[in-house]
Amino acid sequence: MQSNLTFIGAGLKRPECVLTHSSGLLFAPDWRGNGGISVTSPAGESALIESQGPLQLRPNGIAMEPEGSFLLAHLGDQTGGVFRLFPDGSTETVLSHFDGEPLPPSNFICLDQRHRIWLTTSTTVRPRSLDYRSTASTGFIVMGDRHTGSVRTVATGLGYANECLVDEVHHKLYVNETFARRMAVYDLAADGSLSGYRVHARFGPGNYPDGMAMDAEGHILVASIVSNRLLRVAPDGSVTLLLEDCDPEHLAWVEDAWINHAMDREHLDNVKSDALKSVSNVAFGGQSLKTAFFGCLLGDAIASMPLPVAGIKPVHWNFPVQPVLDHIKFGLYDDHFVTADP
């Protein structure tokens, strides 16, 4: 079951997490060269802001800051951390150690309305593939204050923590536990503390929840890796399938490996599909916020499709982009142009 997918950009490498913006620009992590951020214009032109720092960065999740810089969640082979990438390619370390130990490979990062940092680490098991298991339980979430520099752990014991979503209106935080195949929810206190862990939704065969985004009706869209599914989770936790692009035999092979605690890199790196390449992230964009843009682990472009319901504006929706445009050039892009929905 596919929909009217379109693709924008070219030559990207592992655009796992896509950020949309009111200008029509799309930002995604990129593993070319030393690693960095790809910037794609509404006309489909892509430019790379490559890290000029000493460390080869492997950004997985990214977050835009109000100053025009980006925070990168570094998914290294053995270590992780948070690094700041400036529009000129210079970098600085934000967080590399916690509680006296190097951070494990880091998965996802976002800012809330107060511009606090939320960072997920999927697992402390190395290599990570040994924790592609229903029994995964070492994932955790760290919350940091950009202004004071304070950092603390706010959640532990998660079944391969992936993207999280801060709902400050209803004082909740949601997080996808990919290989435990569930979405958890916490109560969120004013000081950022989390409590009252409970399962908000459970996902059935072939569903491996990764990215998430909330729509205007309070439902949460979820991207499932491997099966290339887009799911919609209702406030009561019920799950509806909106999109699917997978090979049934391949998915059955992966499912068998997951059931028998034998899932490994080969099951994630050889996804068979018609168009999507292991969709891992979903973000609302376009003028009316009714277009879904997808990050894909194995992709080289950004997929999109129209939706009947608008999304919630991301925190960074109106952050200034001129600092970025001062360092990259698009032949066809006018920085006053706002993209229409495809």
154-209 tens-digit pLDDT: 999 999 999 999 999 999 999 999 999 999 999 999 999 999 999 999 999 999 99
The mean pLDDT of 307-336, rounded to a whole number, is: 86
Residue with the larger pLDDT of the pair 4 and 340: 4
Domain 6-325, CATH homologous superfamily name and number: TolB, C-terminal domain (2.120.10.30)
Whether the Cβ atoms of residue 244 and residue 2 lie closer than 8 Å to each other: yes
5-25 tens-digit pLDDT: 999 999 999 999 999 999 999
341 has a pLDDT exceeding 90? no
Mean pLDDT rounded to a whole number for the chain: 94
Burial of 5 (0-12, 13-18, 19+ CB in 10 A): middle
Radius of gyration for the chain, computed over Cα atoms and rounded to the nearest angstrom: 18
Alpha-helix residue ranges (DSSP H) falling in the chain: 248-259, 265-269, 322-325
| Predicted local distance difference test score (pLDDT) of residue 146 | 83
| Predicted local distance difference test score (pLDDT) of residue 242 | 96
| Predicted local distance difference test score (pLDDT) of residue 149 | 82
Distance between CA atoms of residues 4 and 21, nearest Å = 22
Residue with the larger pLDDT of the pair 76 and 148: 76
95 has a pLDDT exceeding 60? yes
2-11, 43-52, 236-245 — which is least confidently predicted?
Answer: 2-11
2 — pLDDT class (breaks 50, 70, 90): low
Whether the Cβ atoms of residue 162 and residue 169 lie closer than 8 Å to each other: no
| Predicted local distance difference test score (pLDDT) of residue 339 | 43
108 has a pLDDT exceeding 70? yes
Distance between CA atoms of residues 65 and 63, nearest Å = 6
Whether the Cβ atoms of residue 37 and residue 86 lie closer than 8 Å to each other: no
